[in-house]
Amino acid sequence: MSEVTRRSIFAGSSIASVALEAEIDDCYHRLHSGGILMNTAASNAEGYGNRTAHQIAVHPFIEAFDAEFNRLANVLTNHKDAIESSAEALLKNADGLLRSRDKMSDTAVSNQLSETRRLATVLEDKTIRINAEAMKTEKELRRIAFLADTKLRTACVDQADRQFSKEPWVDKVSTGHVVKILSDIFSFIRDIEDKGRDKGAEEWKAPASFERVTTKYWVKDEALPEVLLKSACELPILVYGRSGILTENPKDPSEGKGEFWKTMASPISSVYFDSDSMDLYKERIKRSEGAQLFRVRWYGDKPRNDEVIYLELKTHHECWINNKSVKERVGIVQRNMLTLMDISDGQWTSDFAKTLVIEASPDDNEAEIEASTALLLEIRALFCRLELRPCVRTSYTRAAFQSSKNNELRLTIDRDITVIDETSVRNDGSWCIEDNDNVPIQSFLKVPYSVFEVKVSGGLGPIFLEELQESNAIVEAPKFSKFLTGASLHNANKVNMLPWWAEDPLFEPIFKMRQNTRFSKKIESSKALNADLLVSPTSYRGDTSKESLDLSSNAFDLVAAEEGNSSARGDNTKKGGLFGLINLRSRHHAKTDNGKPTAAPRSPARWVTVGSLFMLVAALIYTQAILVGPYGGGLALMRLGNALIGCGLVVAIYGIAMYYRRLDLMVKAKPYGYADSVGPAVLAAFMVALLGSFIYAYYLQFPYPHAPLRAEPGVCVKRNLDLGTNGAFSTLQFQPSSISIDRKRNLMLISSLDDIVAYPSDIFADDATINAPMQLLHQFPRGSEDLEAMEIINGTIYVISEGKKDSTGKDQSDIIELEWSSSGENILEVTNRWRIDSGNAEGIAFTSDEDWFSYPTLIVSADENTLDPRDRLSLDAYEFPLPANGTSPVEGHLNNKFFINGLKDTKVGEMQFFNGNLYMLFDNSKVIRAFAPNGIMLNEWVLPVSVAEFDKQWEGMYLDQNGDELYLHLSLDSPPEVWSIKLGGVTTPNSETAQWSLPRCAGG
């Protein structure tokens, strides 16, 4: 916009400061001279009755001041009215363009859109400038009023306060009206660009789980209009319960005109919980991995008994963790909060929690209910573990900006933020402070800033943020937390660490008021440490050590002693908080030790060289990781390489930081502080770690990185197979390939070549069970079968026999059905047989879970015997039950790429569906993997080694749930062995998490 155009916007709004100051001087001289012009005295006496000489002397200024005040108010009102009128006209045009879009050419529409966008941007700029001019004018009028009160003993300051508390100086309607109209104009533009309003769009619904990158900014009250206008041009205003255009009648936009913060914003209240010892606060302020924050939130008035409130659990994850920080929420009925807080009955059952979820959200689908139930149980466990109680409440008014079609970008502005001490009033009949409770006034504290949050779920933030930062309208406030603010202010004697913003000039008086003497001294002594953070004009760029002030030790006193008087550094900065600028005093350079300053330039080069050495070693370890593969220690090596890269970066950054620290000392002519007492110790520790990394990397080259399997009574039990002279088979004749458990008969069934045998299943009962003799259930003619896998379905046994061929020589397999003998003896009889095209079949698994398939299905894993072992696996699906007449079932192929990622050999020896997940034993890769129905791998376990050189011979696997205990049965093909292992970790029934673990005797 040109300077001429800018001047024309504010024509007539320049304040007559010189004239008013001249009038003050004239009145001042009249007062001190004791003389008043005759006509002035006469006119005052005639028009105003009895006045004192002082009132008559200052009346000319009072009259001029009132006239100028009224003139400027009228000018400001006219400007705002003109902008509102222009905005309303532009909205009408945008509405008309949308309605006539189909009748216009694409070129004409494009031109009209460009012009509409340009005019809307001009209106935005005009509104921002008028608000800025109004603030500038107000400041100048207040200066004149103060000058008059000082020199003339008037009451102009009080008069100005009264005037500035009314329209047009208090902008309750105008700017908000323009914000709403601009939001609608840009919504029209987006609708036209999308070729039709709301085409293919659904109204956005807040999800139960949020994963977003949030950046927080502080905003002063005078900058709120600019932030609102910029946000409205970027995204439409989001008002819950309303969709589409917010102007009630686009043809007459002045209808429904009201205060923005009452009509377009939502009051939000949140009650944060913590333990009596502030455990959540302490973990949250340290930003510990997994630190959690729990709150109860509602919108508008506090919900009554049967209304829904939202429980929200925030979990922080560090950047080096694969999981992002996440916010999850679940709704419950308000009257159930006391039940949640009453931990006398311990942890809830899943059914009870599910009942509470359904009561609050009866329309949710099953998946949403299950997820909400799991979250509610997690929250309940947190209550039981920490004995949570209400700690602090926050209340504020929020304006939100977001597309109704997605949540990729969300902007929110929180205004009038108040933190309330929830511990000040205790009412056993309510879980938090009620509206009618009598609360001490000191329990209420107002945050000195509004908070602007930019939440991005993908991509970059909006460009206008840079403009707002450059204009000082917003200042980045990383990690700012309403909870940490309120909890630290209202629990001063329970916390040993304050948030970093406790030293911000606008926050500092509030914190000092709430802290006791011990804390106040600590805050004073810590200023030297955080001065560089607090005077930043646009944003904070400190590291995590500057996100909080530690009050638990004498750390800050030591810092102050080393740096000298901490207040000296503070004197170099202007007041004004984050919005002030650095003002450095000029200094003369004092003489310093010649060796110390000249060493500064050489220091970073040395550190960077050491950092490069770490990165070189990391590259060598990465190479070694590729050679040994992911299951030969490669994953551990990759993590080690990543750690070394991190060490290298730390060393390099530390060197640069030390360089600039010394440079700063030189500029400030400090004769001390050049010594680095920490760096050498850190470097020595890193070098020891580097040496250990070399040893560890080459240790992993040994041929058997897998742990040995060793017998341990009651945990890792090796079964006596009854082979040899007195047994049914010799060691060379027995080749166990598959295991199944028949709980009804308490038998462990094992297939081996032509035979199916059984042992007692309760192997952990006693030694007699371990040594029980083998039972021969069925024996096929010698050499006729090669049994590889077995599955029990409704008491019927199905076995896979490989090595079959069709008339063309193509590899095939048989599925054989066996039933228990009607005589009651433990004997199996063949009842059916099917030929399938799955050649060299190795595994079989059955499921009727509709999360996997829409009909009961048998999955068969076959070995393709390809040259590339990564392509060996073939997964085929057969609809169950199989054809009754024994005809070959129809084969369907599955996408095996979900299951073989990262494996060098994809041969599968055994499969099993268990607790809704598919478990696959990859014998040649020596791992067991668990998969969810969506193909996502849930977990992976590395198999132990029972016999050296035969670590790839694990052929059979069966997970067996017995009460709350979970067992893993493994069969070794050669030499023949059967092991039963009691698992640790999550072993409860129906657990779908696949988070069990192997015991130490099996490499766990």
**Which CATH number belongs to the domain containing residue 976 in this structure?**
2.115.10
pLDDT of residue 512: 85
**Residue type at 640 in one-letter notation:** L
Would 9 be classed as within a structural domain?
yes
- Tens of pLDDT along 748-761? 999 998 999 998 88
Would 910 be classed as within a structural domain?
yes
Would 44 be classed as within a structural domain?
yes
pLDDT of residue 567: 34
Q: Binning pLDDT at 50, 70 and 90, where does residue 654 land?
A: confident
Q: Binning pLDDT at 50, 70 and 90, where does residue 521 land?
A: very low
For residue 882, is pLDDT > 50? Answer: yes
Tell me: do 688 and 728 sit in the same domain: no
In Å, what is the CA distance from 35 to each residue of 19, 32, 192?
A: 21, 8, 72
- Tens of pLDDT along 953-968? 999 999 999 888 999 9
pLDDT of residue 6: 46
Listed ranges 213-217, 245-249, 543-547; the one with the highest mean pLDDT: 213-217
Residue after which a domain boundary falls, among 201, 230, 259:
201
Q: Please answer whether residues 305 and 311 qualify as being in contact, where contact means their C-beta atoms are separated by less than 8 angstroms.
A: no
For residue 98, is pLDDT > 90? Answer: no
Would 267 be classed as within a structural domain?
no
**C-alpha span between 614 and 494 (Å, rounded):** 43
pLDDT of residue 393: 94
**C-alpha span between 189 and 198 (Å, rounded):** 12
**C-alpha span between 158 and 54 (Å, rounded):** 18
Tell me: do 78 and 43 sit in the same domain: yes
Residue whose C-alpha is closest to residue 236's, from 225, 226, 247: 247
pLDDT of residue 980: 92
For residue 9, is pLDDT > 70? Answer: no
- Tens of pLDDT along 931-945? 999 999 999 999 999
pLDDT of residue 598: 42
- Tens of pLDDT along 141-178? 999 999 999 998 999 999 889 988 888 888 877 788 88
pTM score over 0.75: no
For residue 952, is pLDDT > 80? Answer: yes
For residue 785, is pLDDT > 60? Answer: yes
Tell me: do 766 and 838 sit in the same domain: yes
Residue after which a domain boundary falls, among 146, 178, 201:
201
pLDDT of residue 561: 29
Q: How many helices and strands in the chain, by DSSP H and E? A: 24, 36
Would 215 be classed as within a structural domain?
no
For residue 558, is pLDDT > 60? Answer: no
Give the sheet arrangement for strand 747-752, strand by strand: 736-742, 747-752, 755-760, 775-779
**C-alpha span between 645 and 642 (Å, rounded):** 5
Q: Binning pLDDT at 50, 70 and 90, where does residue 44 land?
A: low
Tell me: do 670 and 729 sit in the same domain: no
pLDDT of residue 38: 52
pLDDT of residue 95: 85
pLDDT of residue 762: 80
Tell me: do 691 and 783 sit in the same domain: no
Would 975 be classed as within a structural domain?
yes
| Residue indicated by tokens 């908080």 | 577
- Tens of pLDDT along 786-828? 999 999 999 999 999 998 998 888 999 999 999 999 887 889 9
Would 580 be classed as within a structural domain?
no
| Cross-strand bridge partners of residue 446 | 418
pLDDT of residue 886: 80
Where is pLDDT greater, at 651 or 394?
394
CB atoms closer than 10 angstroms to residue 897: 10
Tell me: do 652 and 801 sit in the same domain: no
Would 389 be classed as within a structural domain?
no
Work out the mean pLDDT of the chain and round it to a whole number: 81
* Helical (H) or strand (E) element with 647: helix 635-667
pLDDT of residue 673: 61
Lowest mean pLDDT of 145-154, 515-524, 640-649, name the range: 515-524
- Its domain, for residue 45, covers 3-201
Tell me: do 784 and 694 sit in the same domain: no
Residue after which a domain boundary falls, among 201, 217, 239:
201
Q: Binning pLDDT at 50, 70 and 90, where does residue 253 land?
A: confident
Tokens of 35: 């003389």
Tell me: do 172 and 55 sit in the same domain: yes
Q: Binning pLDDT at 50, 70 and 90, where does residue 362 land?
A: very high
pLDDT of residue 868: 85
Residue 283: DSSP 8-state: H
Tell me: do 661 and 742 sit in the same domain: no
DSSP letters spanning 807-832: TT--EEEEEEEEEE-TTSSS-EEEEE
- Phi first, then psi: give them for residue 20, nearest 5 degrees: -65, -40
- Tens of pLDDT along 434-450? 888 888 888 899 999 99
Number of domains in the chain: 3
Where is pLDDT greater, at 605 or 111?
111
pLDDT of residue 716: 92
Where is pLDDT greater, at 252 or 789?
789
**C-alpha span between 844 and 837 (Å, rounded):** 14
Tell me: do 679 and 828 sit in the same domain: no
Tell me: do 44 and 115 sit in the same domain: yes
For residue 591, is pLDDT > 50? Answer: no
For residue 92, is pLDDT > 70? Answer: yes
Q: Binning pLDDT at 50, 70 and 90, where does residue 41 land?
A: low
Tell me: do 867 and 955 sit in the same domain: yes
Q: Binning pLDDT at 50, 70 and 90, where does residue 483 land?
A: very high
pLDDT of residue 704: 46
pLDDT of residue 773: 85
Q: Per this entry, what is the length of the chain?
A: 1004
Q: Binning pLDDT at 50, 70 and 90, where does residue 575 land?
A: very low
pLDDT of residue 520: 43
